[in-house]
Amino acid sequence: MTKWFLLCGTLLVCSAGAAQFKLDTLKIGTTTYSNVTVLGANTTDLYFSHANGFANVKLKYVGPELQKRFDYNAKAAEEAEKRQVENEILYQTALAHTGSPRPGNAATPAKPLIGSETGLADPISDKSLLGKPGPTVQVDKWLGDKPALEGKFVLINFWATWSAPSRQYIPELNALQKKYSEKLVVVGISADPENEVADMTDPRIEYASGLDSKAKLTAAAGVTSIPCVLLVDPKGIVLYQGHPAALTERRLQAILARPTEE
C-alpha cells in the first residue's frame, strides 16, 4: 500500500513544474535526511530521495522557502489530505472485499491473502511482510516498563510527534489496549527525541512506548511513511502491515477471537 501511494505521488509531482534539485540536508520535525534530491511535489507532499532511500513528507512541515517554491496552499492541501484519507480507506475496503491480485499478475491465479477471513488484504508490495516473521521488537529505550509480548498479539504503531495523522490514532490505540489487554499489546515506536515523546500529553499515550532513535526497527519493518502499523500474532507472524485506517476494531476483534495453535 505504501509503495502504491508513493507511486501515485510520484506521478503527480510533474504538476508542480519544478526541476529536480539537491540539498545537503532536509530537516522535518526532528528527523534529518542527508544527500537529498528533491524530485517534486503535489498539493500536499514533497517527494525526494535521500541517503537511505526515498521518502515523502507533507509540505506543511517543510520550510517556507520550499513551500514557496512549490506554491504551497494550506487550504488546498487540507482539502486534498481529506480526499487522500477517504480514497485510502475506500481502496483498502475494496481490495479486502474483492481480493484483487497484484498489478502485473493478471494471468497468474491469485494466492489466498493472509487475513482474508477478516478482510485484511496484502499490501501491494514485493517487500510485504505478510505471512512472514515480523521484526524483533528491540528499541533504544522504553519510556516506562518494558512490555511483556510473549504469547500475545502485538500491534506495533510507528508514529511521530509532529505527524497530525499519527496523533489522531492514539486515542483509538489507547482504547484497543484497554479493551483487549488479555490478548493484545499495543506498542508505539518513535524516532523522535525522548523529551518530545515524553512531553506530548495531548493526546496522552496509554500503551507501551519505545524510542527507535536510529530507526533500526522502523527500517526492519519496511516503514516508509507514517502512521504505519504491524499486527503480529503470538508466533511472530505478520498479519497486517499498512495504514491503521484499514485495521478497524471489527477486523481486529475477529482476529483476536480466532483460536491459536500452541
pLDDT above 90 (res 178):
yes
pTM: 0.56
Tell me the per-residue pLDDT of 179-205, one tens digit each, with 9 for 90 and over.
Answer: 999 999 999 999 888 888 888 888 899
Q: Name which residue leads in pLDDT, 229 or 29.
A: 229
Instruction: Kindly list the structural domains of the chain, giving each domain's residue range(s) and its CATH number in brackets, ordered by start.
Output: 2-75 (2.30.30), 116-257 (3.40.30.10)
Tell me the per-residue pLDDT of 209-253, one tens digit each, with 9 for 90 and over.
Answer: 999 888 888 888 888 778 889 999 999 999 888 888 878 888 888
Location of C-alpha cell 512472514 = 132
pLDDT score recorded for residue 84: 59
Position 89 confidence tier, pLDDT thresholds 50, 70, 90: low
pLDDT above 90 (res 157):
yes
